[in-house]
Amino acid sequence: MPKALRIYNTLSRKIEEFTPLHPNLVGMYVCGPTVYSYLHLGNCRTFSSFDMIFRYLKYAGYKVRYVRNITDAGHLEGDLDEGDDKFAKRAKIEQLEPMEIVQKYTQYFHDVMRAFNCLPPSIEPTATGHIVEQIEMTKELLSKKWAYEVDGTIYFDVEKYSKEYNYGILSNRNIHDLLDGTRELGGQDDKHGRLDFALWIKAKPEHLMQWQSPWGMGFPGWHIECSAMSKKYLGTSFDIHGGGMDLIATHHTNEIAQNCACNNISPARYWMHTNMLTVNGVRMSKSAGNGFLPDELFAGSHPLLDKGYSPMSVRFFMLQSHYRSTLDFSNDALQAAEKGYARLMNAFRLIDGLKTEGNSEAFVVALRAKCEGAMSEDFNTPIAIAHLFEGVTFINNVNDGREKISAADKIELKKIFHDFIFDILGLKEEVSSKNDMLNGVMQILLQQRAEAKAMKNFAASDNLRDQLLALGITIKDGKDGATYSY
Ligand code: AMP
Ligand code: ZN
């Protein structure tokens, strides 16, 4: 069992010793993707970070029940539950059923998670699969008078709640500041207080996804889904709740309010938040339009990229910064990560062939404890990686005959590298030269297809696309040119 684990808790704004509710079973809930469009690299950073956390908890000896939901209903455009339904809007644009949109983007999300070598969660519940639980929780909040109905829509009464509980506990803001910073009623004239938020929303007849409820046809608000699903699978009180930092002020604040009001206990003991991936200092987001798709990154087809990077180089790039630091995207940083990842893997491959002699070296004995020490202090991957690179230098020195390794140390060194590189950091072997080659060939073919199209030889360009499709390679035309995925 490694050193005691310490975790930064957003709730206390301190690093605290991790003491799970049950000695061997850790309950962890992470807010999952909203599957109405392709996820961008920023989303991937958050999910890869929690994958690393999941992996380290398991390495530390815990059995983990990791729940990561899929938001596939009830998500309106504004945080204040106003605006259009994102799924309905997308369904109209793509001329698909809303559930076809859900299926398409859930599939893409799973493909990307697999490419980044993220382990599947233990349970992946969907909002549409838990409408009953959301209605039940809303009913309970109504019966306990924490919520009120206005013409088929149910609102949570934040001002009433804040008289008994600290509504801004997670964001460290007091209710008066929050009220001062909030627009009048956020376009919803029928709610009583401007911080009140919808638990259930009355659907207009033309609304595409709607369900029967005691208050008529409607659909759930966004925040209630995570309260209802975490309660169902992890209980009213569990260990860790996570997501990106942008979820603190509204989504997680409202989740805590719903749970405290309904269950009389705050849901999670440790709230963990990942920092944002930025582009030129600006948060990567769907709405800012500065998002790269993982496919564009792998293929090097985005205008900001000078070439493609393999999924493991990108994962390594993300792990080189601490999950609570911002990470700015740059070609230089990606190139450095690509080289670093290759150096690490090359060193690992050298271990088997190292000549052994002499007695144990203090270095190897200390290496595991150093890596564990870094990970146990709030999952500090950059420091753990720095220690692994001391190992890389040692391996290269032994290989060049400048240092010695005993037979026992060689076995332990290989185990340390295996545990940290593969099991904890979640990296894996990649045949990068083949990837580069495929990418090069694809760029030539995409160029030929673009030329055929420019000369209005659509038969040739379609033929090329169809032949590639027969090989399992899909071409996607975008405004900045074509990309491919397989
Ligand atoms: P969404 O699909 O928009 O609900 O986001 C899924 C997850 O990605 C949430 O936990 C967000 O907080 C997180 N996220 C969104 N943008 C970024 C970003 N630029 N960097 C890191 N995480 C992000
Ligand atoms: Zn959530």
Identical fold for domains 6-274 and 278-424, yes or no, is no
Which atom from ligand 1 is nearest to the alpha carbon of 243?
10
Per-residue pLDDT at 108 exceeds 60: yes
| Domain 278-424 coded CATH 2.40.160 | no
Q: Is the pLDDT of residue 265 over 80?
A: yes
Contact by Cβ (8 Å): 40, 284: yes
CATH of 6-274, one of 3.40.720.10, 3.30.565.10, 3.40.50.620, 3.40.50.2300: 3.40.50.620
d(CA 406, CA 411): 9
pLDDT of residue 277: 97
Q: Name all residues whose Cβ lies below 6 A of ligand 1.
A: 31, 33-34, 42-43, 45-46, 243-244, 246-247, 274, 276-277, 283-285
Nearest CA to ligand 1 atom 6: 33
**CA 379 – ligand 2 centroid, Å:** 22
In whole angstroms, what is the distance from residue 273 CA to residue 8 CA? 9
Averaged pLDDT for residues 210-228: 96
Listed residue (292, 299, 294, 296) closest to 442, CA to CA: 299
pLDDT at 89 over 70: yes
- Ligand 1 atom closest to the Cα of residue 247 is 12
Rounded to the nearest whole angstrom, what is the distance from the C-alpha of residue 413 to the centroid of ligand 1? 36
- Lowest mean pLDDT segment, chosen from 337-351, 391-405, 421-435: 421-435
Q: What is the pLDDT of residues 287-296, one digit of tens each?
A: 888 888 999 9
Residue 78 has a pLDDT of: 59
What pLDDT score was predicted for residue 43? 97
Residue nearest to atom 9 of ligand 1 (CA): 244
Domain boundaries, the chain: 6-274, 278-424, 433-485
Higher pLDDT, 436 or 333: 333
Q: What is the pLDDT of residues 134-189, one digit of tens each?
A: 999 999 999 999 999 999 999 999 999 999 999 999 999 999 889 887 765 555 56
Residue nearest to atom 8 of ligand 1 (CA): 43
Q: How far apart are CA 427 and CA 430, in angstroms?
A: 9
> Ligand 1 atom 5: the closest Cα is on which residue?
33
Q: What are the start-end ranges of the H helices in 320-457?
A: 331-351, 362-376, 381-399, 407-417, 432-454
Model confidence, pTM: 0.88
360 pLDDT above the threshold of 80: no
pLDDT over 70 (residue 19): yes
Average pLDDT over residues 104-127: 97
> Locate tokens 């798709």: which residue?
293
From the number of C-beta atoms within 10 Å of its C-beta (0-12, 13-18, 19+), residue 82 rates as middle
Choose the weakest-confidence range: 115-124, 179-188, 282-291, 402-411.
179-188
Mutate to test the pocket of ligand 1, among 10, 31, 43, 116 (most ligand atoms within 8 A of CB): 43
